[in-house]
Every structure is written in C-alpha cells, then in structure tokens.
Amino acid sequence: MRALLQRVSHASVSVNGAVLGEIGPGLMILVCAMQGDTEAEAEKLAAKTAKLRIFKDDEGRMNRSVLDVQGAVLVISQFTLAADTSRGNRPGFSPAAAPEDGERLYQHFAAALQSHGIPIATGRFGADMQVSLTNDGPVTIWLDTAT
C-alpha cells in the first residue's frame, strides 16, 4: 500500500458540497491499495503511521507521533498514487488494486488506525471529492509497504 501523509492543522473532505469528514490538528492521508496488497499491508501501514514521529515536541523537534499529540486522521482513498508515468505523458493506473479490493483495504486501513485509539474521518471511496487542508510545517511524508 502507498500513503502520502500530510501533517495538518485542519483538513476536510466534501462531496457535492456536503462535508463528509473534518479534523483539526493531525494527519491527512491519501492512501492507495496496490495489486497484491492484503490486510497485512494495511495493518503494517496503519501501525507505522500511528507511531511515525513527525510532530514537534516541546523543543521544536519532530519527536512525537499522532498518538502522542492526540491528533486525528482524515483518510482519503486515492488510486492515482499508483500512477505509472514510465511511458509517455499519460499516466497508467494498472498497478492499483481492483476497485473491490481497493475499497476493502482502504476501509481496513482506516479501521486499523482507529484501533490504535486515533479519531478517524474518511471520504467516500470512488467519489469525486474536494479535499481542503492547511499543511502544518509543511510536513509531507511518503510511505510504501513495498519498500
């Protein structure tokens, strides 16, 4: 699985003008299931995310996790993280998991994060979503269970 984490002071997701999820300080995560991914990858990614020390401590160093700061997470499905741009100018998305698998693993990832005691908000799988965020730092981290 792939994920792009952004440390945020605020983030929200809407569909057709209706807000589906909104958080204050925490992480906004774009997540993509890849072909061959299983629940084990979703759980590995959730555990890494929950413990990743990218929030400032009292000395201003990135030494605290989203758990430590009692932050929330907005999880957004984004199959375009699977983009293959190796040929031509139009990306291909065949490395992404099939939609049924992608949705199952997206939901499993969000539930795995929540099982760590992290408040979760989500978008709607497969929907045309509008995501708004204020990146804090900015801090943006790429995670991939394949590496």
CATH of the domain at 61: 3.50.80.10
- Whether residue 36 has pLDDT greater than 90: yes
80 belongs to the catalytic site: yes
Structural domain includes residue 52:
yes
* Cα angle 11-66-117, degrees, rounded to a multiple of 5: 100
Choose among 108, 111, 92, 112: nearest CA to 100: 108
Which DSSP state fits 74?
E
Structural domain includes residue 138:
no
Structural domain includes residue 111:
yes
pTM, rounded to two decimals:
0.94
Structural domain includes residue 144:
no
Domain total of the chain:
1
Exposure on the CB side of residue 93, measured as CA atoms within 13 A: 11
Cβ neighbours around 57 below 10 Å, total: 12
Structural domain includes residue 146:
no
Among residues 6, 49, 55, 79, which one is catalytic? 79
Structural domain includes residue 145:
no
Among residues 49, 78, 122, 145, which one is catalytic? 78
Q: How confident is the model at residue 89 (pLDDT cuts 50, 70, 90)?
A: very high
Which residues are within 8 A (CB) of 111 and not within 5 positions of it... i.e. 6 or more apart? Answer: none
Structural domain includes residue 139:
no
